Amino acid sequence: MDCDELTGTQRRVLNFIVGRIESTQQWPTFLEISEEFGWSSPNSAAAHVDALERKGWVGRLDGQRSRRYCLARHSVEVRELRVAS
C-alpha cells in the first residue's frame, strides 16, 4: 500500500498519531485527536482512525471490538510518510 492512497487529512491524523507516540509513548485519545484538528466531536477522529485501519495503516490490539490501536506499518515506512507530507 502506498501513502498516496491517504487523503490529506488522513495523512495529517497519522502524522499526529506517530508524533504523539514518539513523544509520549502513548496513543492519543480520540478527544485529543479531535482537539488537535478543531473537530467538535471525537467521533470525527474515530472515523479517520477507522479509515486508516481499513487502509492498513493502523490495527487493533485486541481484536475487532477493541479501541486499543497500534501502528500496522513498519516504523521506517511511517517515518518516510512523515517526511513526505
60-75 pLDDT per residue, tens: 776 655 566 777 765 5
Distances (CA, A) of 42 to 24, 59, 83: 20, 18, 27
| CATH, residue 58 | 1.10.10.10
Report the largest interatomic distance among the alpha carbons of the chain, rounded to a whole angstrom.
33
User: Model confidence at 53, in pLDDT bands (50, 70, 90)?
Assistant: confident
In angstroms, the CA 56 to CA 53 distance is: 5
Beta-bridge mates of residue 60: 69
In angstroms, the CA 66 to CA 82 distance is: 26
Domain that holds residue 56: 3-84
Q: Domain count of the chain?
A: 1
Q: What average pLDDT does the segment 15-28 reach?
A: 88
Q: What is the pLDDT of residue 3?
A: 59
Q: Looking at the predicted structure, is the pLDDT value of residue 44 above 60? A: yes
The set of cell numbers assigned to 59 is: 490495527
